[in-house]
Amino acid sequence: MTHAVIELDQVSLGWRGRVAVRDVSGRFAPGSLTAIVGPNGAGKSTLIKGVMGLIAPLRGYIRLAPHLRNSVACLPQVGDLDRSFPISVYDLVGMGGWSRTGAWRGLDDSEHARIEQALEAVGLADFSRRGIGTLSGGQLQRALFARLLMSDADILLLDEPFAAVDQATTEELMQLLCRLNEQGRTIAVVLHDLELARQYFPQTLLLAGQAVAWGETANVLTPENLHLARHLCAGDFL
């Protein structure tokens, strides 16, 4: 059996006495491309925070492969960002390289080249000196993708990266993710668009406060499983 890069063992997550995700077990295989889907309130973002180590499990264990513990990068929800913070697109993207440079060291020529390449890859080469507060929603998501590219991490976790993004931008950024996956990176993406999951993601985790199904996308996104997920989130079977 292939060793998992992320393994969840009876994991429950929450805060302030509220359990948002309960008893989830499963594994992300090396090089997998997984959609994390479910109704609103299903615990999708909470699960991402748990894997990132931002919240500790109430019960159970989250294990990352030892050689990859320092090679995880996350693209947060746009709503979690303070767009009034006075930072340029260039500097925002450069923050993705802090694992190599540290927060306070200057950037050498190779890091400046990485930033330029990342901006070019997402179509923002002409936006580098603009403040992030001047960007549209789609442009900001492109900048966050560029920051993700700068991390050069082996595990990429993205929380609703296509929210409020038009179809053309979604397709471009999805193709970029597919290329990163083809390079061997393990990628998990929180999505609301089930058709996008069916089109691009071989694996899917369907959450509804618990794991309704986890496996091949066609076997997970069945009418029966989706119906159960909706009812679980509505509290009908809790």
pTM for this predicted structure: 0.90
The pLDDT assigned to 24 comes to 97
Digit-by-digit pLDDT tens for the chain (238 residues) are: 568 899 999 999 998 778 999 999 999 999 999 999 999 989 999 999 999 999 999 999 999 998 876 689 999 887 667 777 889 999 999 988 866 666 556 676 888 999 999 999 999 999 999 999 899 888 999 999 999 999 889 999 999 999 878 899 999 999 999 999 999 999 999 999 999 999 999 999 999 999 999 999 999 999 999 999 999 987 654 4
The pLDDT assigned to 106 comes to 65
The pLDDT assigned to 237 comes to 44
Which domains can be identified in the chain, with CATH numbers?
A: 1-71+154-238 (3.40.50.300), 81-153 (no CATH)
The pLDDT assigned to 238 comes to 40
What long-range pairs does 19-25 form, CB within 8 A, spacing at least 24? Answer: 19/58, 19/209, 20/46, 20/209, 21/46, 21/47, 21/50, 21/207, 21/209, 21/210, 22/209, 22/210, 23/59, 23/60, 23/210, 23/211, 24/60, 24/207, 24/210, 24/211, 25/60, 25/211
